[in-house]
Amino acid sequence: MLMLALLVLSGYIFMKPEVCQPAIANTKHNLSVTGPGTIKATVETEICVFCHTPHSATTELPLWNHALTTHNYVPAELPSVSTGWPRLLSTVQPPDKASKLCLSCHDGTVAIGLLVNMPGPGSSGSVTMQGTAGGNMPTTAYGYIGTNLSGTHPVSIAVNDTLINDKNLCTTPGAYTLQYPPAGDPVKLKPTSNTYKGGTGKPVTTATAFTYFQGVQCTSCHDPHLEGVVDFLVKGTGSPAPTKGHPGNISALCTSCHPGTCP
């Protein structure tokens, strides 16, 4: 009996760190002083607080705690016809929901430590950070995106049958088409309130009967909690393997939505 108790106890001791240590702790998104990156707090040890709070959160989901970007993305900064994008993307609208949350650090306009609800009892304020440029993400940082999104994949774009049909009749026909990512694929469409040609994204009803309108967000390809092979990508470990600064062969990520019709 004693042996059994010891066995259970030892198991608990050894397993505890793995069970309780969230995956994010070993990523650069651990902005607490314990984080592995160069941009992190000087003393603050809480990890989740930089993005989430159980109380007094913003209205953004999920329980968002970070101050939001107020940058007004103008058409010249968005993927659009004026920057060489296919005509159908001329309707790209400013980032919303998940992508706006990401850009609240990565566009470099908001202080990384600026929170709605500070750790412990208190109100809004700023956690003291190191490795920043005046509190904001430096333009030289690996993850810096800035406010010009014109050369990036469109985000917060509603995906519906109209878009898929348009895309498949446009650009280089028959080469790389557009489809909804297959069920079970790590690449997923996420909620957006934006529309395409006046239509919402295709409605999705989840198991809990929560309905959202789907679209492409940063979180379609990136999982902010999990570093993955590189760059928080949800998928894409082809050969050559991706490394920091060079994504390697990540075609599997792209072909979830853009399958090559050529064999």
Partner 1 sequence: MKLKLSLFLFILIILSQFIAPEVYSGIPTHGDSLKVSYGCSACHRGHGRPGTQMLRKAVPELCYDCHGVTQSGLSSGATTDVYFALKKRYRHPVDETSGLHRSDEILPEKSAATPRHVSCLDCHAPHISEKSEPTKGATGQSSHGPARRKADRISEICYKCHSDNANRPFGSPDTLQDFDTSNTSYHPIERVVRDRSKSIIPAFSGKTMECTDCHSPHGTDVEHMLRSNYRTVDGPESASSYELCYTCHRRDSILGDQSFQYHKKHIVFEGTSCKTCHSAHGSRNNSRLIVFNPDVVTRSKSGLVQYSKIGQEVNCFLNCHGAEHTGKTIASKNTSKKL
- State the Cα–Cα distance between residues 140 and 154, nearest whole angstrom: 23
Nearer to partner 1 among residue 37 and residue 238 (C-beta): 238
Nearer to partner 1 among residue 37 and residue 86 (C-beta): 86
Q: What part of residues 18-77 is at the interface with partner 1 (CB under 8 A)?
A: none
Using CB under 8 A as the binding rule, whether residue 168 contacts partner 1 is answered as yes
| DSSP sequence for 41-103 | ESS---SGGGTB-SSS--SSTTTB-BPPP-----GGGSSSGGGT--GGGGG-----HHHHHHH
How far apart are CB 48 and partner 1 at their closest, in Å? 26
Provide φ and ψ at 103, rounded to 5°: -70, -15
Using CB under 8 A as the binding rule, whether residue 263 contacts partner 1 is answered as yes
> Which residue in the set 38, 124, 243, 251 belongs to the binding site for partner 1 (CB under 8 A)?
251
> Which residue in the set 151, 209, 210, 211 belongs to the binding site for partner 1 (CB under 8 A)?
151
Using CB under 8 A as the binding rule, whether residue 175 contacts partner 1 is answered as yes
How far apart are CB 231 and partner 1 at their closest, in Å? 8
Nearer to partner 1 among residue 63 and residue 145 (C-beta): 145
Q: 54 preceded by cis ω (within 30°)?
A: no
- State the Cα–Cα distance between residues 194 and 96, nearest whole angstrom: 8
Provide φ and ψ at 246, rounded to 5°: -140, 115
Q: Quick one: CA torsion of 17, 20, 23, 26, rounded to 10 degrees?
A: -50
Provide φ and ψ at 163, rounded to 5°: -60, -45
How far apart are CB 86 and partner 1 at their closest, in Å? 5
Using CB under 8 A as the binding rule, whether residue 87 contacts partner 1 is answered as yes
Q: How many residues bind partner 1 (CB under 8 A)?
A: 39
Nearer to partner 1 among residue 84 and residue 203 (C-beta): 84
Q: Which residues bind partner 1 (CB under 8 A)?
A: 81, 83-87, 145, 148-153, 168-177, 221, 238-240, 242, 246-251, 254, 260-263
